[in-house]
Amino acid sequence: MCGIAGYIGGGDSTAIVEDGLSNLEYRGYDSAGVAFVGERLTVEKQTGTIDGIDIPTNNDISQGIGHTRWSTHGEPTDANAHPHTDCTSSVAVVHNGIISNYDDLKAELGGHVFESETDTEVVPHLIEEELTAGYDFVPAVRRATDQLKGSYAIAVTHADKAKLVVARQDSPLVVGHGEEGMYIGSDVTAFAEFTQRVSYLEDGDLAVIADDDVTVYNDGQQVSRPIRQVDWDTSAAEKAGHDHYMHKEIHEQPHALRQALSGRINDLEGTVDLDIDIEGTFGDCEFVEIIACGTSYHAGLCAKRFLESHTDLAVSVNIASEYEPAHPHRATDTVALAITQSGETADTLAALRDAKAVGMRTVAVTNTVGSTVTREVDESLFIRAGPEIGVAATKTFVSQVATLTLLAVAVGQHRGTLSAGEATDLLESVQALPSAVQSILDTEAEIRETAEDHADGEAFFFIGRQLGHPVALESALKLKEISYDHAEGFPSGELKHGPLALVTPNTPVIAFLTDATDPRETLHNAKEVESRGAPVIGLSTLADADTYCAETIDIPEIGVLEPMVANVAMQLFAYHVAKLKDRNIDKPRNLAKSVTVQ
């Protein structure tokens, strides 16, 4: 995730902003930059690490902003790094989030010179327009941000003004109140070493920050945001207060999902716009061959269900290391769809090259702009989850599935195979995901108790039908990789064909009992294991699941994607089982985040 740090006051501005950026390095980034105001505005930025930036040393500098960028629009290049400036080099802007209407705004800004491919660069030019029209700095920023759609935390500095202006919508921004100046940060980590007196901005806030005070406006009215004393352990700062990156990333899922969806759904028309050539890629194909490994393979299994239910395409899902083109003689009718968080997995790249070699069109669904896969495919679709540092994939799985749901809607609509009602159901379900996931995160204390009750199980079995099946596989993978316990996922109906022999009173069975996954059938299978003494944990939207379940975790009703919400409960379950066993959660034994060998 991108990071913002900033300062205005009598302290050593350049050192404070540089330290702030270093404190934010834990978020992951591919480029970084700073803007300082002294006698003039100085901007320094580049790809790579903060250390490489030429930080100015002049002592007339009294304010500055800095940014660490994780690319979402445009490759990681020097030009795409923040800050971005206007045509007069008077205004500099850093931004976290996604401005979803930047294409339209850019088209309206004819005559302005753009130097990057980013969505952010429209902001300084919009501010410049308002300044040229005669507005002062603060109203100019307000009038510019009023035109933005999407999510943003923005910090703006001006060559001639002794103030910073910041604004927030769906992306966090905090203000630090120090003895010698005021700080800004995308989280407290940015400045906790300098001050722990903090006010949190809210959506719609625009704040004017001088060296000794802050004035906050919302919807044109002055509002007050209380100053709180936070007790911030700076040694835990890099994980933003979480014990592990995995825990932090589990909790980032509502935000990651909002980023995945931002600007891609037209609610009025019920359509999807994905920035890829749907007609050229899927317009006349017949087959889709999905290629992926591990968690990404499970996302592929989910995608197959959506694509086959809502399009006339024949879809296969292939473990990349096993892949052979299924229809080499029909290659021009086939799309190879590689799903890879890192974009660097050797097995996936090798399979993709095989698909290309026989002449298939290629698409990557990935988290990593500029990764190897994006350089080798015809089209890249980004999941926008932000960097994932824990080895176990969490937020990238849910972001992959959300993005692939949108892809299924786009392809189904384009091919005329998806009815308006089906599209509405899918889009409503995917848009309900962020809040539903948050509601599960809010029940973490209860899920931890469930983990404590069952951590000593000999083995764990996860059962589900339809979309509940790939999610059962994914939940089992998460538990086995971080707790080192034996865990398996099965289609519920398969238990009685063999695995039931493994079931004992010491093998917890976790059942996915959500609405669109034939929960009554799975409940019957739960009865089969319950009668053999196994404790059943039901992840359920059913009112009567406790008939056969020793415990139930209620899943909010959001339609077809309910299993994805249940999956988050199982990520927390796996996390707490592993924590109780004192496992190396972020770096489980024998595993690597990016598997670059075949």
Report the phi/psi class of residue 498: left, alpha or beta, with left for phi > 0 and alpha for psi in -120 to 50.
left
Residue number, 35 or 320, with CB nearest to ligand F6R: 320
Q: Which of 2, 285, 302, 549 is catalytic?
A: 2
Binders of ligand F6R among residues 29 to 68 (CB under 6 A) are none
340 binds ligand F6R (CB under 6 A): yes
Residues in the chain: 598
Which of the following is catalytic: 106, 527, 581, 593? 593
Cβ at position 390, least distance to ligand F6R in Å: 8
Which of these segments, 132-140, 294-302, 322-330, 555-563, binds ligand F6R (CB under 6 A)?
294-302
Residue 471 near residue 481, CB atoms below 8 Å: no
Instruction: Give me the least distance between CB of 464 and ligand F6R, in Å please.
Output: 18
Which residue's CB is nearer to ligand F6R, number 40 or number 375? 375
Residue 421, both tokens: 């009602």
Among residues 341, 399, 403, 540, the one that binds ligand F6R under rule CB under 6 A? 341
Q: With respect to ligand F6R, which residue has the nearer C-beta, 295 or 552?
A: 295
- Give the nearer residue to ligand F6R in terms of CB position, either 290 or 523: 290
Rounded to the nearest whole angstrom, what is the least distance from the CB of residue 211 to ligand F6R in the complex?
45
* Least gap, CB of 395 to ligand F6R (angstroms): 11
Instruction: List the end-to-end C-alpha distance of the chain, in Å, as a whole number.
Output: 29
Q: Considering beta carbons, is residue 109 or 290 the nearer one to ligand F6R? A: 290
Q: Does 122 bind ligand F6R (CB under 6 A)?
A: no
**Does residue 293 interact with ligand F6R by CB under 6 A?**
yes
Whether 593 is catalytic: yes
Interface with ligand F6R (CB under 6 A), residue from 128, 289, 444, 481: 481
Q: Candidates 268-276, 291-299, 441-449, 450-458: pick the segment binding ligand F6R (CB under 6 A).
A: 291-299
CB distance 553 to 538 below 8 Å: yes
- Residue 248 appears among annotated catalytic residues: no
Question: d(Cα 185, Cα 171) in Å, to the nearest integer?
Answer: 11
Please give the residue whose beta carbon sits closest to ligand F6R in the complex: 294
As a whole number of angstroms, the distance between CA 25 and CA 32 comes to 10
**What are the helix (H) ranges across 225-286?**
245-251, 253-261, 278-282
**Smallest separation (angstroms) from ligand F6R to the CB of 421:** 33
Task: Name, in order, each residue with C-beta under 8 angstroms of 236's C-beta and a sequence gap of 6 or more.
Answer: 242, 243
Sorted by sequence, the CB contacts under 8 Å of residue 31 that are 6+ apart come out as: 45, 46, 47, 48, 68, 69, 71, 76, 77, 78, 80, 81
**CB-side exposure of 540: number of CA atoms within 13 Å?**
23
3-state class (DSSP) for residue 200? strand
Restricting to residues 164-203, which ones interact with ligand F6R according to CB under 6 A?
none
Q: How far apart are CA 296 and CA 290, in angstroms?
A: 10
Among 254, 263, 294, 535, binds ligand F6R (CB under 6 A): 294
Six token digits for residue 540: 């359920």
Shortest approach of ligand F6R to residue 103 CB, angstroms? Answer: 29
- DSSP at 262: T
> In this structure, are residues 364 and 338 in contact, taking their beta carbons and an 8 Å threshold?
yes
User: Does residue 295 bind ligand F6R (CB under 6 A)?
Assistant: yes
342 near ligand F6R, judged by CB under 6 A? yes
Binding to ligand F6R in span 448-477, by CB under 6 A: 477
Among residues 22, 72, 80, 296, which is the contact residue for ligand F6R, using CB under 6 A? 296
Cα separation values, 89 from 64, 127, 248, 448, 454, Å: 15, 12, 37, 52, 61
Is residue 376 exposed (0-12), middle (13-18) or buried (19+ Cβ within 10 Å)? Answer: middle
Minimum CB separation from ligand F6R for residue 563, in Å? 17
Cα–Cα distance, 521 to 534 (Å, whole number): 18
Say if CB 298 and CB 473 are below 8 A apart: yes
Compute the least distance from the CB of residue 520 to ligand F6R, in Å.
31
Cis peptide before 83 (omega within 30 of 0): yes
Nearer of residues 487 and 542 to ligand F6R, judged by Cβ: 487
Does 249 bind ligand F6R (CB under 6 A)? Our answer is no
CB of 570 to ligand F6R, least distance (A): 12
253 binds ligand F6R (CB under 6 A): no
Tell me the angle at which helices 468-483 and 562-580 cross, rounded to the nearest 10 degrees.
10
Report if residue 313 touches ligand F6R, rule: CB under 6 A: no
Of the pair 295, 429, the CB lying nearest ligand F6R is at: 295
Q: Which 8-state DSSP code applies to residue 114?
A: P
Could you give the residue ranges of the DSSP H alpha helices within 378-536? 395-415, 420-441, 444-454, 468-483, 519-530
Contacting range for ligand F6R; rule: CB under 6 A; set: 223-231, 287-295, 464-472, 561-569: 287-295
Token duo for residue 57? 């040393």
Of 144 and 293, which has the nearer Cβ to ligand F6R?
Answer: 293
Binding letters toward ligand F6R, positions 579-598, x by CB under 6 A:
----------------x---
Please work out the total of residues on this chain that contact ligand F6R, with binding judged by CB under 6 A: 14
Q: Is 348 near ligand F6R (CB under 6 A)? A: yes
Q: Any contact of residue 345 with ligand F6R (CB under 6 A)?
A: yes
Burial class of residue 445 (count of CB atoms within 10 Å of its CB; 0-12, 13-18, 19+):
exposed
Rank residues 252 and 551 by Cβ distance to ligand F6R and give the closer one: 252
Element (H, E) at 266: strand 265-266
Amino acid at site 486: H
List the interface residues with ligand F6R, window 387-446 (CB under 6 A): 392-393
Look up tokens 């009668």; give the residue: 531
371 binds ligand F6R (CB under 6 A): no
Structure-token match 């059942």, residue found: 511
- Least distance (Å) from ligand F6R to the CB of residue 593? 7
Can you tell me the distance from the alpha carbon of 519 to that of 184, in angstroms, rounded to the nearest whole number?
48
Nearer to ligand F6R, 19 or 252 (CB): 252
Rounded least distance, CB 9 to ligand F6R, Å: 43
Phi-psi label, residue 384: left if phi above 0, alpha if psi -120 to 50, beta otherwise: left
Binding site for ligand F6R (CB under 6 A): 293-296, 340-342, 345, 348, 392-393, 477, 481, 595
Q: Looking at the annotation, which residues are catalytic?
A: 2, 593
